[in-house]
Structure 1
Amino acid sequence: MRLSAPFITGFCGLLLASPAPTMASVSIVDLLSSSPDFTLLVRVLQRTGLIPVLNMARNVTFFAPSDEVLKNLPTDFDIPTLLQYLIITDPIVSSNMTEEEAVYFSYLRAPAAPDVPLPLRVQHLLPSHQGTADDAGMQLVIGSGAAKVVRHDWVADNGIIQVVDAIVPLPGTLCEAVTGSANQGDIRLFSQLFVKHPMICFLLQYAQDTATLLVPVDSAFDVLNDVELTYLMVNAGHDDRLRFLGSHFLYSSVYRQNDTLGLGTNVPTMSGALVNIKKSERGIRFNGQVDAIESDVVFQNGVIHTLPSFLTPWSFFEFSPRKYLYGLNATRFTDELLFHIYDSVLDDTNRVQTIFAPVDAEEADMPVSAKTLEYHFTDSLIDNLNGSLIVPSRLSLPSLRGRHQHIRLTIDEDGEFWVDGKSKVLRAPLLIGNTAIIPIDRALDLPPSLHYAAGSIFDARTTLQIFESLGLFDDDVVKGSTIFFPEDSAWEKLGSVAKFILSSSEVVREVLQSLMLTEPVYSSDFSRAKPSDYATAAGTRVSIKTDNSKTSIEFKMGNIETVASLGSTDILFDGGVVHTISSIPFPESINITPRQLLDAEHLTSFVELLESASLAKDVIADDSQYIILAPANSVLAVSNITTATVGLATQMGLHILSRRSTPRGSFLSGLSVYDTLVSGVHVSILSELSDDMYELRIVKHPLMESIQPIRVLSSGVSTSGAEIYVIDRVLPVSALTTVGNPPWWQAPGVLVGLGALGGILSMVLIGLFWLLIIYRGGKIWRHRQALGGNDKSFVRFRRSFSGSGQSIIINANGSDEDDDEEDDAISEDTPFLGRAASGRLGSRVNIDFGDVDEDAEGVELPSRSNEHSRV
């Protein structure tokens, strides 16, 4: 291959500029020709016309490959060009190198810049850095570690030969190097930014000078979060990306061994800024604080130095909410905002706000109206998500009477956050200045009309039907309002009361309008410390407060207080908000009488029987507080209870209960006993068998009771406190005579029999007792006669009690004659008497009498003696 024209021109110019050479005795070619290891190399030099170049050169270095290296080269190698690249214009002697590496220039010129010689980096490895070397001491490596010097410092008169073990490939261009690293290596991120600007490569390709790229490694980008880095990668980040690349691009080549670096040279960048460059102990230092990691990575048209950090501070990018939105891939949303002139909102980092940003998604709708876009902003900072909340948006609507529509955030059982129940939050809020950005998977829809919003409340169908039938969905009625929606369970709990209310459109309208506040009140507005007073659509006022957990709410309408559990809260519609409740508060104006409840249950037969029994006037009076157990019409018909039934007053009185005192619970709780209108008969709930099935206990007196199972079909409570229970059977009057099944010993026949038997036994015992007394008295009389006593004497005794037991005290009066034999006259066998303590008649003796009937006091024992004894 022949030498290129630029090379010959440049080389000839070099010769003309040099003084006339003196013929060397031993040239580089001579040395190469003297060794059999370079025979092939010399022939290649002759064939390519490089022999004259080497003979006429002065102070050059030739990195000469041996014949063995040339033989192993692929056939497609451009050997002449490569050999030119191995001729360096400076003498390199390994022992004289003071730098660990240095850049030298070859005889070969860059294809795009004929006046710029190609650089070659030479590394001077110390023994500690070497692997194995043929020669001891220092070792040279050229190129990118591709060739090692295996024979050092072969000195000729016109230069130095360094024998290498490989041919050094030509370096690529800067663009080839950088773009080739876009998907690998430690400069991958910088390369990805670089490839997005092909114009830089175009300029470098046709530039007449070389350049320097200061390339931050990937770890330098750690100062950016993922959103900021993404912004630099997308189209919207074009200008910032180009400024960033330009701040790391120098229009001239800067190498470490440049003499000017020690003076603190200021070199202009492509972006117009100046970079201060000087040498340091570690190599090159930029802007006084950034030391290069690797320097002098040479290429055809320039050099690369890798850096551990940016040359520009983070503030260089001037990140704003707008840039963050682009970095979050909310491009369509941001473009719509800019179209509607939201520039000042998106570029102001000092404004306190939160933006709910829908990211781009295929086939996803994007808000296009200014009104809808406003709904994605709130003038409060939501910097973290730790639970459900509701906040006012920036959108104000006429349907809210000029108030701001709210945005609701909720958390589901999986810990995911949702906005208005439809848009999923994709990540935690991102803060840029005083602005928080919450990315969501779809755009927010404005709250719908009440009709559609309430349609999603599956557990309040009854209220929905009432609203529909009464025309309460009209926009003018619900504009700017709060509506407490009773759940279906709330109507079910009312029982008969609900039937009465629903039977009158005026009453049900008044009840529901008393639960409609004339202003929006959200769960965040519920006060826990003190009640808040609001006007209602019914023209009344209601006081509201909630508990600490906001799970229940207390309504006070006049003097009536009602506590209800809160169900679904903050259901947004275009004119306000809906909350569901488990109980229905009533305004004071609603008066529900017992008669109205009975009529609502269509208990006409029961009412007619009450009137026939002359009980209706008191029992179903407006202020009645009775508990009424009312059998259904069909039950009364089956039981054949009519106005002609004998004992109708008793029959009906059994179903009317009055309270003995303030009950501890409702009748069905079983905590109280109630008297019926039948004298001496009272009832209570014994137990609950199942839902609506109870055991009723009817008691006439402690020994007579009956258990009657009843099913409660419906119930209700009047304003006065009367309780109405519709039951499935008639309480039988027979229960008053055949009450229950008492124990066998409590059966009337058994008790009468036992009483008669006890009376007979008592009479027999009394008779035996008197017979014994008479018998004993005769024996004593005979004994007294034997002792000389008179016929009129008698013994009087009475019972007394001592601490040791029962005893009888007897005073025996007889003659004054002492008769010691009297002791023997009262033997141990004498009935009821024991041996006397003294044998003298007339003395006071204590005789053990055993168990004696208390009614036996004053009993006289007859005696034939006329003497008297007084107790």
Structure 2
Amino acid sequence: MIFILWVLIIYSSVLVSGEEVTSSSSSTLTTTSTSTPTPTPTATATSLTTTSVTTSSATTTTTSVTTSVTTSSSSSTSTSTSTSTTTTSTVSLEPIPTPSTIIDVLSSEPEFSYFLRVLQRQGMVPLLNELENVTLLAPINSAFVGTTGIDWENNALKRYVVNQKLLVGNLDKDERVFDTLYKVDKSTYYSIRVRPDLESLEYVIDEVASIVDEDISAKHQYSYIQGIDHLLPIKPTMCQELMNSTNSEISLFTKMFQLLFVDEEMVSEKSKSNKKKKKKKPKKDLPRILPKSCEEFLNGTQTILIPSNELVKQSLSELQLNYYLANDELDTYSSTTDSIDEVRHDIYNLLTNLMFSDLVVGKNGTGESRKSKYGISHKFELQKHHLTVDGVTSNSTHVFSNGAIHIFDANISFFEKLSIPVVEMIPRKALYALHYSNFVEELYFRSLDYLIDGSTAQQTVFLNLEDRDDAEDDDDDDNEITDVDVYISEPSIKSFSSRQNLLYQFVNSSFDLQDDVHILLDTKLCSHKRIGGCYKLKLSASHGTKTVTVNDDVRILNHLKIANDTSIFIANGEILPPTNLKHSLGDLISSGAVYRHLESIEIDRTSCLKTLEYINAFDLYSLDDNNKGYTIFLPCGTTKFKNLWTNLGLVQNYLKNNPKIHQSVMKGLFLEGLVYSDFNSSTKLSSLNGDSVLLEKSSVLETPNSLYYNNTALDVELNSDLLFSQGVIHVINEVLFPDSFEIPIEELIRTTFDSNFPDHFMWDIIKMYPNIHKSIVGKKPYSLLIPTAESLKDFNITTSFKDILKFVDLHLIPNEEVHKLLNCIDDTGYNNSVIRTNFSEGGLVCKHKPNTNKVMLQLHKLNGTSTESYSKDHEVVLLNHGCTKLYTGDNNTDSLSCVFLLQKPLNLEWFNEPKRGDNFLHVHLGWVSVGAGVILGLMLFGGIMVGLVFCLGKREKSSDKDDMESPRADSGFMSVLTDEDEFIPYDRGYETDVDVLRTETDALLPSHMKRKKKIRKPDYGSTTNSINGTNGSTTLPRDIGNIRSTLNRERNIPGY
């Protein structure tokens, strides 16, 4: 009986074991396994065909099973089974109980022994026993190989506990993310990522561990165990990744992210070092307080969209990108705190558009719209296993411990496609991007913020590179000018306040640069009191806009377009408003040219200094404000001959003698009103004299660019304007006279008076003949050729000259002939025709020599019977001239008379026939030729004399003699020669100490007689060096015997 009962128990156990074999009805899988039967509720989308061998200590069974299983989440099972079984079994008397908890399963499987031991040591067993509906990721023993010394913590082990059921049978080809029991922060749990590996046909967790033992059930806890082959490393948080990222693919985004959290101490130091701490007009309050840390900023954020570097560059302009990265070099640029904060706020707005509170990865969170933290909705979808946001497909996904990051690298405008607003490059933000924050602060301080806050359109800003935040500023704070309307006194260079200087850097229009353009722009600096409008700024471009200048001397380095149809130009120098007249003219003289873009208009310094002298003499530097401005035509240009004031000739002398008229002429150069070089119409302006002046211009495209001043054409090149604080200056190469200007002929003649020769004044001679005098000053006047007073004296031309009437007639020229002479002087339109005089027998031919700028008048006999060739003696030099009115070059001289000053008079004797029999060839040499001949003759004579002196005065040099060998000139003793003496001196009749050294056989001959040399023995005993050889070795003294007994007088010998 007992035996039968035991058999029934075993049989029931076998039936239960058979009922717990489960599989999915829609997948096919072939496996061979050996395991302890455990309940495994599943809900799958796979078809399985299973061949199973189940072994216990009581039974050995071979079973072929075809099963259709439907399993619900509550683990209730309905099974229909058709089984054909052949069983050979040996039944054990003691069956093993089925594991029912997570710990039981781990204890029953040897491959989890090491992980179980870790759980026990860390006290995780009680926690696991209390859990339900979880999944334990259990590393098998091989996962611990080589991982000694791991510092396990309770919280770290919770990463292996998924807070929901994770069944491999429920997974598909799309990745998923699951939360664990590990808490990253107060509100966020550690996430793991599970995705299929299509190569190994396994599911991979966090790209590290593969699931090798799937879906092990712990039925009493409604939980599962997934065996994995590697330990799971702790993933960084999104903050750790973004703040310490080494991913070069997203370096621009991470840089922006990091710049949101600027060091507060650095910002505080910037605030303390900022010089301008007050603003007359504070900026608008920024929207919110910025987070101080990444953790604070990403609190509640689980998904971030990140564009790659290339996508950022495609989606943002270069200036926008520079703006977002403007705080990257705060140690280099002395940026203001306002600029730092504003850039941070704009970074904050951009980033919050890319952040989402929900976790969106794979199957998680896709298929619906979700709002960003900025409040804009975006559609998230999963297409072909890739995430798309508003149709933009992500390139890669990275899951971190507290969220996921999606990287996009599509060839599109990312922010525009996702309708994410980016910063608008209004002038203020553009200036921050270019690191001109201190310039912005200065504008706010001067209440000029309206120029850069985006409310002003179609303007251009000119910046000086030296005003950038990285430029050193050595100015003294105490000397800062803060009064907006303070003007510096006239002698000073500065004529405008700081506020006005800033206004001059803004132009009222925006334009596209073109090649070879010269334009005058209206700035925002206006003065109705001074010029009746706004000041101009000159801009020129050439070489395909590679070379751009402002006001001709400041080079533009860069230019760019920004929002509101605004342009920014960066220059390499200061862009200051025009200075006063005196300083502007001083700059003109010092530079010696009017700079015009890449070229310059040279000035004649001599003429210009003379002009400035006259301006100063007539007090024209100080001009009253007239609400119109002034246009000045300045005679400073270069001319072909001499200088422009000298070219006036006798007219200049007349002006010097008449200061009031001279002042009137100078005032005629100053017109009330503004006419710039781009003037292209006609207008009437008044000069300082009150005279009306008509200015006309047909076209600015003419070359040369001509401006007509009362029908006088002036070459005024485009953009050659010289700007000053009250108007504009045009440099011209002639002196302008009013149409009413006229010099009485008598006054013009008086300019030739020479006080050194008062008795030889031509006008006094003319006045002797009333008819001639009347004809000169009458309605049809004559022009005069007047020799210098000195030449009249030399030629003895006085009132008592016998042919004075003929002489005067020869020096009178009818006015209809004068234009020939004037054209010859100007070297324009002259054809060498004869100029008739009032003397019927003689005319003149004018010769202009351009190389010397000399005008010669040559006599031409009108009624001569003999043929006369060119004669050097029959010409005179024209020194100077002047006319009563301005000659316009139109050959019309009926209404004017001229006076021509000659170096010497025209000689009446030139009309006389040569004497009969005088056939001698006359050679006419000029003074230069004569002078050159004299100089050459003197040089030749001097050379001959020097040669004679050297030849005849040369004497042979005597040999140098030692002072001890040659007697002094004043010695009264006779010389005694030695054997080595070459020259024999005169014998003075007495023997001296020197004579002792000479042999008695030497003849007493004059010293200049050279004695014939003879071959001598070796110089034993010689007192001098050898002359027979080259050694000159020292020898012993020669024995001269006892000479004391032969001396006939006392000697001055030491020791005796």
TM-score, normalised via structure 2 length:
0.57
Paired residues of 1:542 and 1:556 also in contact (CA < 8 A)? yes
Paired residues of 2:806 and 2:839 also in contact (CA < 8 A)? yes
Question: In the superposition, relative to structure 1, how do residues 634 and 430 fare at CA in structure 2: closer, same or farther (>3 Å)?
Answer: farther
Residue matched to 1:216: 307
Residue matched to 1:582: 733
The count of aligned residue pairs is 694
3-state SS of paired residue (1:683) = strand
Of stretches 476-485 and 510-519 in structure 1, the one that deviates more from structure 2 is 476-485
Residue matched to 2:248: 185
Residue matched to 2:536: 406
Q: In the alignment, does 2:176 pair up with 1:102?
A: yes
Task: Within 5 Å, give how 1:375-524 maps onto structure 2.
Answer: 375-384=504-513, 387-397=517-527, 399-400=529-530, 402-411=532-541, 416-421=547-552, 424-428=555-559, 430-440=561-571, 444-458=575-589, 459=603, 460-476=608-624, 480-487=629-636, 489=638, 490-524=644-678
The Cα shift of 1:470 comes to: 0.6
Counterpart selection for 1:323 from 417, 421, 429: 429
Distance 1:321 1:499 in 2: 60
Question: In the superposition, relative to structure 1, how do residues 83 and 602 fare at CA in structure 2: closer, same or farther (>3 Å)?
Answer: farther
Spell out, residue by residue over 1:273-308, the C-alpha distance to the aligned partner (whole angstroms, 9 max, x if none): 44443433463333x33333323x122222212245
Residue matched to 1:717: 883
- Gaps in structure 2 of 5+ consecutive residues: 1-73, 76-97, 218-223, 262-289, 327-339, 485-498, 590-602, 639-643, 886-894, 923-1056
The Cα shift of 1:581 comes to: 1.9
Distance 2:420 2:357 in 1: 24
Q: In the alignment, does 2:237 pair up with 1:173?
A: yes
3-state SS of paired residue (2:624) = helix
Counterpart selection for 1:566 from 695, 701, 716: 716
Residue matched to 1:229: 321
Paired residues of 1:682 and 1:698 also in contact (CA < 8 A)? yes
Task: Within 5 Å, give how 1:288-303 maps onto structure 2.
Answer: 288-295=390-397, 297-303=398-404
Question: In the superposition, relative to structure 1, how do residues 228 and 516 fare at CA in structure 2: closer, same or farther (>3 Å)?
Answer: same
Distance 1:539 1:116 in 2: 89
Spell out, residue by residue over 1:193-251, the C-alpha distance to the aligned partner (whole angstroms, 9 max, x if none): 22232364736269875522222323235333233333334423333222222222223
Paired residues of 2:677 and 2:716 also in contact (CA < 8 A)? no
Spell out, residue by residue over 1:648-685, the C-alpha distance to the aligned partner (whole angstroms, 9 max, x if none): 55555544444666856613344232123333322213
The Cα shift of 1:616 comes to: 6.2
Counterpart selection for 1:333 from 414, 435, 439: 439
Question: In the superposition, relative to structure 1, how do residues 469 and 727 fare at CA in structure 2: closer, same or farther (>3 Å)?
Answer: same
Counterpart selection for 1:270 from 353, 369, 373: 373
Question: In the superposition, relative to structure 1, how do residues 660 and 611 fare at CA in structure 2: closer, same or farther (>3 Å)?
Answer: closer
Residue matched to 2:949: none
The Cα shift of 1:49 comes to: 6.4
The Cα shift of 1:544 comes to: 0.9
Question: In the superposition, relative to structure 1, how do residues 148 and 643 fare at CA in structure 2: closer, same or farther (>3 Å)?
Answer: farther
Q: In the alignment, does 2:251 pair up with 1:196?
A: no
The Cα shift of 1:505 comes to: 1.9
The Cα shift of 1:471 comes to: 0.9
Residue matched to 1:778: none
3-state SS of paired residue (1:523) = coil
Question: In the superposition, relative to structure 1, how do residues 661 and 202 fare at CA in structure 2: closer, same or farther (>3 Å)?
Answer: closer
Distance 1:689 1:265 in 2: 91
Residue matched to 2:762: 607
Question: In the superposition, relative to structure 1, how do residues 509 and 569 fare at CA in structure 2: closer, same or farther (>3 Å)?
Answer: farther
Question: In the superposition, relative to structure 1, how do residues 65 and 283 fare at CA in structure 2: closer, same or farther (>3 Å)?
Answer: farther
More helix by share: 1
RMSD: 4.5
Task: Within 5 Å, give how 1:757-772 maps onto structure 2.
Answer: none
Paired residues of 1:427 and 1:439 also in contact (CA < 8 A)? yes
Paired residues of 1:94 and 1:124 also in contact (CA < 8 A)? no
Distance 1:94 1:715 in 2: 117
Paired residues of 2:362 and 2:385 also in contact (CA < 8 A)? no
One-letter amino acid of the structure 2 residue matched with residue 482 of structure 1: T
The Cα shift of 1:620 comes to: 5.1
Residue matched to 2:838: 677
The Cα shift of 1:320 comes to: 3.1
Distance 2:313 2:149 in 1: 44
3-state SS of paired residue (2:678) = helix
Distance 2:385 2:662 in 1: 88
More strand by share: 1
Task: Within 5 Å, give how 1:249-268 maps onto structure 2.
Answer: 249-258=355-364, 260-262=365-367, 264-267=368-371
Question: In the superposition, relative to structure 1, how do residues 477 and 346 fare at CA in structure 2: closer, same or farther (>3 Å)?
Answer: closer
3-state SS of paired residue (1:475) = coil
Residue matched to 1:736: 911
One-letter amino acid of the structure 2 residue matched with residue 565 of structure 1: D
- Gaps in structure 1 of 5+ consecutive residues: 1-17, 128-136, 748-871
Residue matched to 2:229: 163
Distance 2:304 2:752 in 1: 92
3-state SS of paired residue (1:256) = coil
Paired residues of 2:122 and 2:152 also in contact (CA < 8 A)? no
Spell out, residue by residue over 1:800-857, the C-alpha distance to the aligned partner (whole angstroms, 9 max, x if none): xxxxxxxxxxxxxxxxxxxxxxxxxxxxxxxxxxxxxxxxxxxxxxxxxxxxxxxxxx
Counterpart selection for 2:383 from 254, 269, 280: 280
Paired residues of 1:29 and 1:55 also in contact (CA < 8 A)? no
Question: In the superposition, relative to structure 1, how do residues 495 and 191 fare at CA in structure 2: closer, same or farther (>3 Å)?
Answer: farther
One-letter amino acid of the structure 2 residue matched with residue 681 of structure 1: G
Question: In the superposition, relative to structure 1, how do residues 478 and 713 fare at CA in structure 2: closer, same or farther (>3 Å)?
Answer: farther
One-letter amino acid of the structure 2 residue matched with residue 666 of structure 1: N
Question: In the superposition, relative to structure 1, how do residues 163 and 717 fare at CA in structure 2: closer, same or farther (>3 Å)?
Answer: same
Residue matched to 1:238: 344
Residue matched to 2:25: none
Question: In the superposition, relative to structure 1, how do residues 544 and 367 fare at CA in structure 2: closer, same or farther (>3 Å)?
Answer: farther
3-state SS of paired residue (1:476) = coil
The Cα shift of 1:333 comes to: 3.2
3-state SS of paired residue (1:455) = helix
Distance 2:880 2:373 in 1: 88
Q: Which has the higher contact order (CA 8 A, sep 6+)?
A: 1
Q: In the alignment, does 2:858 pair up with 1:704?
A: no
Paired residues of 1:484 and 1:578 also in contact (CA < 8 A)? yes
Question: In the superposition, relative to structure 1, how do residues 525 and 206 fare at CA in structure 2: closer, same or farther (>3 Å)?
Answer: closer
Paired residues of 2:554 and 2:571 also in contact (CA < 8 A)? yes
TM-score, normalised via structure 1 length:
0.68
